[in-house]
Every structure is written in C-alpha cells, then in structure tokens.
Amino acid sequence: MLRRSIPRGGWSRWTPRLLTSPRIFCLSLIVLLGQVGLLQGHPQCLDYRPPFQPLQHLEFCSDYESFGCCDQRKDHRIAARYWDIMEYFDLKGHELCGGYIKDILCQECSPYAAHLYDAENPRTPLRNLPGLCSDYCSAFHSNCHSAIALLTNDRRFQESPGKDGTRFCHLLNLPDKDYCFPNILRSDHLNRNLGTVAEDRRGCLQLCLAEVANRLRNPVAMVHAGDGTHRFFVAEQVGVVWVYLPDGSRLEQPFLDLKSLVLTTPWIGDERGFLGLAFHPRFRRNRKFYIYYSCLGKKRVEKIRISEMKVSLADPNKADPKSERVILEIEEPASNHNGGQLLFGLDGYMYIFTGDGGQAGDPFGKFGNAQNKSSLLGKVLRIDVNGAGSGGKRYRVPMDNPFVSEPGAHPAIYAYGIRNMWRCAVDRGDPITHQGRGRMFCGDVGENRFEEVDIIVKGGNYGWRAKEGFECYDKKLCQNASLDDILPIYAYGHAVGKSVTGGYVYRGCESPNLNGLYIFGDFMSGRLMALQEDRKTKKWKKQDICLGSTESCAFPGLISTHSKFIISFGEDEAGELYFLATSYPSAYAPHGSIYKFVDPSRFWHLHSLGPVPGESQKQLYLQLSGFSVSPPDCFQNSGTAFIHLESTSRQMQVQTSAGENQE
C-alpha cells in the first residue's frame, strides 16, 4: 500500500489538526446546519474562538465552508499537507486511505475542534489526533495502520501494540462520547440523547409557561428599573436594549443601540457581546444605569467595558447615547469566559462579575487569574459608583472591601476563585419574614466535569482552578492548606447539563407555592431545576421542574414547551419570574423568547374584565380555595388582579393592585 518508506521517527512537522469523513460527514453536515444538531455541543475552535463562515470558498475541506474554523489560507495548508502524505501511497493506498486521511486533516476546520482535540482539558497535552468513536477508529486502524506514522510523531500512537488497534483507539478515546467523531455530526443521535428532561412524578415540580416576548436576538438579560413603571428592559447580545410596557407590548424604537461598539459575531458559541445591564438604586432621581459589554481597544485588544449612562430627559424610554461614561475596562486575554453580570446589592454598591480570562483551565500565571488577587479576572468586584476615587478612577472603593489592606491585592475585589459566573441575582427575601433578604446567588459555569451554584460572601474564595464543583481540578492547588474555599450549595455533573445558567429565588405573589425556591437552568440541556433550603441543616435539595401536561396547561395563554437553550433569567418589578431562551443561539438570529413561570395549581386563567381606570389592562386569575391569600405587600407591587374565592358566598370579590373592588 505504501510505495515509499516513512521518514524515521514519523512525520515531525505535523501539529494537531482535525477530522471529517466525506462519506459520513456530507449528509450529517446538511442535517446539522438545517436543524439544531450543531448546537448540542458547544462549538469552539482550537484558538477558543467561535466558528465562523469563511469569506472565500474552501477547495479542500469544502464540507466546512458553510461553518467551521478554517479560512482559505488554512484550507490550502491542510491540502498541501494531505498531498505530501499521499506521496507515500500507491494507487490502492489512495483508494483505501485517502478518505480517512482527509477526515483527520480536515478536523481542524470542524466547529467542534476544541472538543475533538480535548483542548478544554489543560491537564492533558493537546492531542496530535482528534477523538475518534470506537467503530470508526477500529476501521481506520484496520485499513490504514501504516498511515499513523505519517499523521503524528507521537510514539504512543506509532508503537501501540495489537493488530486490532485496541490500545490505539483507547488513546484516542474522549471521556464524553457525545464529542467523538463522527458521532458529533449525527444530529438525530444528539437530539435524541441530549437535553432530555425526564419527568419524576414523585418530586418533579409541574409548572406552565406563558410566552411574553419573541423574535429576540439572543436575549441575555431582562431587568426592571425599580421606578414603579413596571416596564422591563431586554438586552440582546448584539447590543440592542428594548423596552416592554406592563401590557406586554414592545416600543418600536430601542431604548439603546450599541451595535457599532459591541464586539460579537453571528457564529454560535461566541461568548462576547452586550452581556449585562443594571439600573442605579436611585434611578428614579438620577436616571443612571450601567452596562457591561465586549469591545475592541487600541491595537484591536479585546476588552470588557463597564460604563455609566443616563436616560434622556426628553424621553424616559430612550437612553442618551452621548452620556456614556466609562467606569472600568479590563483586557481579555482570550475570547471566552467574559463574565457579564452587574448587580446592586442592598448596600447600594455595584457588584461586577468577571470571567477568568478564557482559554481552558485558567492557564494564566502560576495559579491562574482566578486565584491571583492582583488580577481583576475571575472575580466579584465591589465598587461605589456614586463618586470618583483616587488616581483618576471613576469609582470609589468601599473601605470595608475585604482586601483593601492586603499588599498586592486589588482593593476592588470582593470575592475570588471564580471561573465564569453566568447570571447572578439578589434575593428579595421572604415577603413576610424577610428571611434570605440580600443573599447573592450565582451559577458558575464549569470546565469539563461539574456545574455549580454559589452564594457569594465577602472575601470568599470559590476554589477555581483548584476545584471544580466539590472535586479537585488542579490537584496541587487543591491540596494547599491555605485554600480555605467556599463550597457550592449545589453542583451537578455533565450527565445533567453542561453549562449552568443562574436564576432567582422566587419571591413573587402569583405562585406562592414557589416562595423560597431558587430556580435556575442549564443552557446546553435545556433543563429547568429548583433548589430548596432545609433551614435546619442549611443543606439544599434539588428538584427538577417539569412543564405540566397538556391538560394542566390548557388554559388560554399557557404553554408547556419552550426553546431549548436557556440563556438567562429575569424578574419583573412585582417579583414574578421569567427565563430567556432561544432555539438557535446566535447573536444575530431572531429566535429568542421570554417565558413567564405560572403555577397551575394556584391560579386558573379566567377572562379580562376590562381595563382598570388609569391602569393597563390586567388579566385576572382565580386563586383556589384552601390556600392562604397572598400577603398584602405583594398586592402593592403587583400588576395583576387577584380573585379570592369565598366558598360560603355566591359572589367573588376582586381586588386589584390599585385597591379597587369589583364583584
């Protein structure tokens, strides 16, 4: 099969590239791009950037010219490498091995390259060959064993004993079978096995949904201004913020449009963009709000920028585009793990949640950015935006920040050891007892084993990169006696989901059965979950949230399905809970929706009695007998009318949030 000998020591000029089978891949990619198979794994290139559409035709790895990780220059280089290798084969070898070799070389262009080469696990060296599924690997080894030395100079592969290739294929095995080639391209398999939420009749919470908005482009945040207007503001990753009125209508003109400044791309997997929005606690008086977004600095250096802006004096539903005042900029060494949450605590200070700087395993410096208290990456920052600080800073550092007096530590740091917290929220507290008020919950996205939920405490070390979830990640750092890390309140493995999206503790009025539950989800699996605290043991118990049956959600306006990819959660001014999801997570794809949680065991949808004078029209709900009435302070903030059913009377008295009665 070989017509000339292989150079001694194998091929030494080859560095990790990628795989694709013309026979299997062609059909798979068509299905993949036409449906959502491509979305099941997190698409990412070897440089940790998102995949893209090449500007020019790819002549060799043409299967990836619609979407992948190669431009024309890289395609030409891979083609040249292929023909160099094929010089060693006779005609029979060309027929037998040409397709396999092209598969392997072209996998550098795969949108899943980072997974195929196990690039996300820094504890192992970057693979010379991509991860192969066992059947495909066995066939390749059986037919083209002599080609291995031409593809890699790694002696482990070249010297693997056994004619059946067992050891060779074991070396190419990936821990996560979803990501091996060619399984990663079989969208039917991925759709069937990933993201399935199993109903547990013994403990699964049965809820319904109401879709309140749609056709959004990757909605990343939903917040209210706390000004009594009951508006909510929805930010799209592309850099546009919309205003929704209490009646659910969206204003025609955006509140803010920063598309020209925001750094993002249309490609799935790009974590950059407009990422955070928060209104000042005294917004009604000072008109200030704050934004967090990715941008390009001088010499095209990627940064995250936190800025202050004001609402227009002429129009309360429009931001003043000339009012931007940059508060803080932080350089990003990579394109992933950008953080993005802004919050105001009960103390009036602003909390900023940054990612660890990207790549994989926080490889920056001796201990990584997250454990380095001189770096602002992988941190919770706490600043006072109500005045200027020393050294020209546009913020002050609170004097009680935990590391103000520690030599070498940045004084703005409030907590550290964070990988990439995605979505955090402040607990409003129980409506009656105020228990839990002020707690700050976050979902911290894991590396390759665990996702976790944390409660942020002053000075806390959340363990990364020493730990991932409850387990050691970097064994040397993990064994350091001075680590003293704060453990998660809950962590789950990748059989449940692969990218946590932090949520909220429910404190609304319409679904009091949910009071005190921390409701969150997983971006990749589409799973909705809830945590409930045992006040005696201080332990948290997880329950799945299962959308109710067609019968239980059969009321007008209620649904029992949602778009799979859960991007964020939101809370309106009345404390009702929502989540933001999309069926196609691209910053430019208008497939995002907002869903409101509804507990069908508490309220039955009736009909509209017409608008209350001076108010937007409200929908009325019947509160079932046998349950206590929602506490009075709920009615003060609610935009919903409630019907209290008195079983001894033939009449029903309706009380709206405005205190009016109808019979």
d(CA 643, CA 629): 10
Which residue is it, tokens 């070898």?
Answer: 93
**pLDDT value at residue 196:** 29
The whole-number pLDDT of residue 115 equals: 85
> What is the CATH code for 205-603?
2.120.10.30
Cis bond before residue 465 (omega within 30° of 0)? yes
Q: What's residue 162's pLDDT?
A: 58
Which residue in 355, 511, 363, 517 sits closest to 425, CA to CA?
517
Spans of all domains in the chain: 22-193, 205-603, 606-662
pLDDT at 501: 98
The closest of 63, 169, 58 to 111, measured between CA atoms, is 63
The pLDDT tens digits for 566-579 are: 999 999 999 999 99
Q: Please indicate, yes or no, whether the overall pTM of this predicted structure exceeds 0.75.
A: yes
Give the pair of three-digit tokens for residue 117.
Answer: 């080469």
Whether 106 and 18 have beta carbons less than 8 Å apart is answered as: yes
Chain position carrying tokens 């730990």: 467
Q: Where are the beta strands (DSSP E) in 552-634?
A: 565-571, 577-582, 592-598, 603-605, 620-623
Q: What is the pLDDT of residues 429-445, one digit of tens each?
A: 998 889 999 999 999 99
Which residue do the tokens 């065991």 mark? 601
Q: What is the pLDDT of residues 184-207, one digit of tens each?
A: 777 454 333 333 222 345 578 889
Residue-level pLDDT at 180: 87
Pairing of β 421-426 and β 467-468: unpaired
pLDDT of residue 519: 98
The DSSP call for residue 2 is B
Q: Which residues contact 551 (CB under 8 A, 6 or more apart)?
A: none
Specify the pLDDT at position 573: 96
What DSSP element (H or E) covers 385? none
The answer to whether 552 and 537 are in contact (CB under 8 A) is no
Contacts of 546 by beta carbon, 8 Å cutoff, 6+ apart: 197, 199, 200, 204, 205, 206, 207
User: What pLDDT, on the 0 to 100 scale, is given for residue 52?
Assistant: 76
pLDDT for position 495: 95
Ranges of residues in the chain with a pLDDT under 70 are 3-42, 122-123, 158-163, 187-202, 602-663
* Cα 29 versus chain centre, distance: 25
In angstroms, how far is CA 383 from the centroid of its own chain?
A: 25
Identify how many contiguous H helices and E strands the chain contains and give both numbers.
12, 31
Instruction: Give SS3 for 177.
Output: helix
Cα 37 off chain centre by: 18
- Integer Cα distance of 227 and 465 in angstroms: 40
Compute the 3-state secondary structure of the chain and give helix, strand, coil in percent, each to the nearest 5: 20, 25, 55
pLDDT reported for residue 42 = 64
Contacts of residue 578, defined as CB under 8 A and 6 or more positions apart, other chains included, come to: 212, 222, 569, 570, 571, 572, 594, 595, 596, 597
